[in-house]
Amino acid sequence: MSNSHRTYLTSHEGIPSEKLHVIYGGFDLGKFTKERRRSTPKTTLLGDTYTKPHFFTFGVCSRLVEWKGIQYIIPAFRKLLQHDVLAELIILGQGPFHSQLEELIDVELAEFVRFVDRTDSMPDFFKSLDVFVHTPISEFSETFGMVYLEALAAGVVCIFTKSGILGELPEIGKSTAVVSYENSEAIFQAMLSITENMDGANFCHYPVHHLDIFTLENLLTRYRDVITYLDSLN
């Protein structure tokens, strides 16, 4: 699914490298790029509650498991509030680590953090955010990481750690904040920098043409190449 995934299989599972070929997934990124976020009002419905339009909205979308690193985002967000930033954190997803994450949220923080099980529209979810945060705990925590592509295509400001496909995207540091693994302080500093230097309308979009390789059309071309290669072996 990615060169990172390939590296993991060769270095940790002992699979011969010549037996592995990377074929990126193909995605309908057009539904994210056609309405890239700029300064649209945040009126997207998530569950039964609208995001607060006067708050600076941070969002997470992930399966709730330890290796996705959400446990480092919550303390960073707490520190952001302590610096008098008016903000909210939406955590979209389900998983076995839910209860452990809830334990990090006391009464003081509960007003500003909201768990949402699901949404009917991922493009609308990204449009509702000021910043998307995705911080897996290692290079190999993601085999691919589709939310990286979705957030970049949607044009939302991002805070990332490098995992899965992210290390293969060119110029990623020019339009996203890339932070170190398992580091709440680094996440906080990125959050604070964004809130101090971005008014919600002016920021650098990730170039959409860098995502062209992940289109459905490209996926078909890659599978066609594989079939041609297999035919050549006969």
Is 228 within a domain? Answer: no
* Closest by Cα among 104, 99, 100, 97 to 89: 104
Q: Which H/E stretch holds residue 83?
A: none
Report the pLDDT averaged over residues 40-47: 44
- Contact criterion met (CB below 8 Å) for 121 and 97: no
Is 80 within a domain? Answer: yes
Is 149 within a domain? Answer: yes
Q: What is the pLDDT of residues 202-228, one digit of tens each?
A: 567 889 899 988 888 888 887 888 888
Domain range for 195 is 32-40+51-208
C-alpha span between 2 and 186 (Å, rounded): 26
Is 66 within a domain? Answer: yes
What CATH number does residue 171 fall under?
3.40.50.2000
Q: What is the pLDDT of residues 78-119, one digit of tens each?
A: 999 999 999 999 999 999 999 999 999 998 899 999 999 999
Is 178 within a domain? Answer: yes
Report the pLDDT averaged over residues 57-72: 97
Give backbone dihedrals phi and psi of 171, rounded to 5 degrees, phi first.
55, 30
Q: What is the pLDDT of residues 132-189, one digit of tens each?
A: 999 999 999 999 999 999 999 999 999 999 999 999 999 998 889 999 999 999 999 9
* Closest by Cα among 181, 184, 150, 173 to 67: 181
Looking at the structure of the chain, the number of domains it has is 1
Is 45 within a domain? Answer: no
Report the pLDDT averaged over residues 46-51: 48
Is 12 within a domain? Answer: no
Is 225 within a domain? Answer: no
C-alpha span between 132 and 52 (Å, rounded): 16
